[in-house]
Amino acid sequence: MASHVNIINKWFSHLSPTSQQLEERINRSLDRQVKLAVTGLSRSGKTVFITSLVHQLLHGLEGTHLPFFQMVNSGRLRGTKIMPQPDMHIPSFRYDRAIEQLCGEPPTWPAPTSGISEIRLAIRYLSHNLLLKHISPINTLYIDIIDYPGEWLLDLPLLELTYEQWSEQIAATCQTEPRLSLSAAWRSYLNEIDATEPVNEAILRQASMLYTEFLHQCKTPQYGLSLLQPGRFTMPGDLKGAPLLEFSPWFKIPQTGYAENSLLAEMKRRYESYKEHVVRKFYHEHFSSFDRQIVLVDVLRTFNAGYAAFIDMRDAINMVLNSFQYGKSGLLNKLFGLKIDKLLFAATKADHVTPNQLPHLERFLHNMLATSHNNVHFEGVQTETLALSAVKCTQAAYATFQGQKISCIKGVPVDSDKPVALFPGEVPIEVPMPAEWTEGRFNFVDFKPPRLANVHGTGLPHIRLDRALEFLLGDKF
């Protein structure tokens, strides 16, 4: 009987949140608060997306830049304001700095995210519900958004892997190019070391340094690989120089036992410590209680980098999405088992292709992430695929080629100061066969932000960001 009581007490203690958590859950159950997950790998555009989203909502009362966001278009918006964030120990998302960079002279893209940050918005609006109109005509929805380095997402799958399993996976990826060549120095170093010898800090440090250099090489635009673990090795944040990051996978793990004071045992301890104190903590504090999610994918970058980069990004995103909780929304779920009930897959840089290619871009992304689409649909989650641009930096143009008029885009490339008009190429609907990813077939150019005369008077130019807002938040108003 006592054991049953202990089990029940333990269960209820698990359901007993802090006062702040309880208040958040009540607000979310009453649709007064939404925690939005802006998910994406490195260089997918999370910081630019969040900056533009905040800017659009802050300027929602001005202009007609959000025609498909019904709450704004119907005139029910009463204003948006940046509020003090709920987690005082987390740095604030510096919207002011990001918008200054976008609107500077010359304009520049915001600096890449190097650590975690948070922002809270309060949106005041007129209720669309006939009953609520009489009880409380003006309501407020709080939106919490967290920004973080995309590299850190890649650590979430490690929670399900032992050190031996992880080492085996890394060894398998290094059997093919380009990882085979890029990992040569690190693999050569490990081959000269006996894993069963006593712990040596110099060896641990050198092995982790060579492995980290290998990951940085994989990350360069030339190769464009995404599945680089642990994520903190290439983006350490506040852990830079910490012994917690001084380990690496091992290629040939001895089949027989090894001493507790051996190199291999220490590698394993540091890996498990990294999972417990970095990955699990990060997941529970920031990734286990989202309501809505948008997954940003820079599909065009994989076209430029090649087939290996495409496969790597596809596998990385599918692995990461397995770490989130998906399911239908409901009062009990919102109070006790928070789950994501809406998921938007977004192909970024929609302004880098001609308008007639947007359906192709959406279809390609849908096919690319078909496994994740199927899994979340099975859980009853509403999904959509959309091509968008958080900040539009090109204009539609036309050119004549061999007597025929063709669609082009016009903008200022990142490596130039003069605008150019070009035909960026066609986006395939289906994934090309490996032999079809020939060098030079795809050459999608990156552009500088647009020069804006009155950015503080209206929202940033965008493509379909209003559709994204309507899908993610429209039902909350």
Is residue 354 within 8 Å of 315, Cβ to Cβ?
A: no
pLDDT at 13: 42
DSSP E strands, 41-97: 77-83
Q: Dihedrals φ, ψ of 450, to 5°?
A: -75, 155
Burial of residue 189, with CB atoms counted within 10 A of its CB: 0-12 exposed, 13-18 middle, 19 or more buried: middle
Residue type (1 letter), 329:
S
Is residue 49 within 8 Å of 38, Cβ to Cβ?
A: yes
pLDDT at 14: 45
pLDDT at 401: 77
From first to last of the 477 residues of the chain, give the pLDDT tens digit: 434 334 334 433 444 455 555 555 555 444 589 999 999 998 899 999 999 999 999 999 986 789 999 999 999 999 999 999 888 888 999 999 999 999 888 899 998 888 889 999 999 999 877 666 667 788 999 999 989 888 998 999 999 999 999 999 999 999 999 999 999 999 999 999 999 999 999 999 999 999 999 999 999 988 999 999 999 999 998 898 888 999 999 988 887 778 899 999 999 999 999 999 999 988 888 877 889 999 999 999 989 889 999 999 999 999 988 888 888 654 444 444 468 999 999 999 999 999 999 999 999 999 999 999 888 988 889 999 999 999 999 999 988 778 888 889 999 999 999 999 998 888 999 999 998 888 778 889 999 999 887 677 788 999 999 999 999 999 998
Which residues share a beta bridge with 400? 405
Cis link prior to 86 (omega < 30° from 0)? no
Which tokens hold the place of 52? 């533009």
Whether 261 is covered by a domain: the verdict is yes
Tell me which residue range forms the domain holding 233. 156-283
Could you tell me the pTM of the whole model?
Answer: 0.88
Whether 130 is covered by a domain: the verdict is no
Total count of domains within the chain:
1
Sequence-distant (6+) residues with CB within 8 A of 56 are 65, 66, 459, 460, 462, 465, 466, 469
Which residues share a beta bridge with 447? 413
Region label for 63, one of left (φ > 0), alpha (ψ between -120 and 50) or beta (otherwise): left
Is residue 147 within 8 Å of 116, Cβ to Cβ?
A: yes
pLDDT at 216: 97
Whether 64 is covered by a domain: the verdict is no
Is residue 65 within 8 Å of 346, Cβ to Cβ?
A: no
Is residue 217 within 8 Å of 223, Cβ to Cβ?
A: yes
Whether 271 is covered by a domain: the verdict is yes
DSSP 356: G
Whether 182 is covered by a domain: the verdict is yes
pLDDT at 388: 98
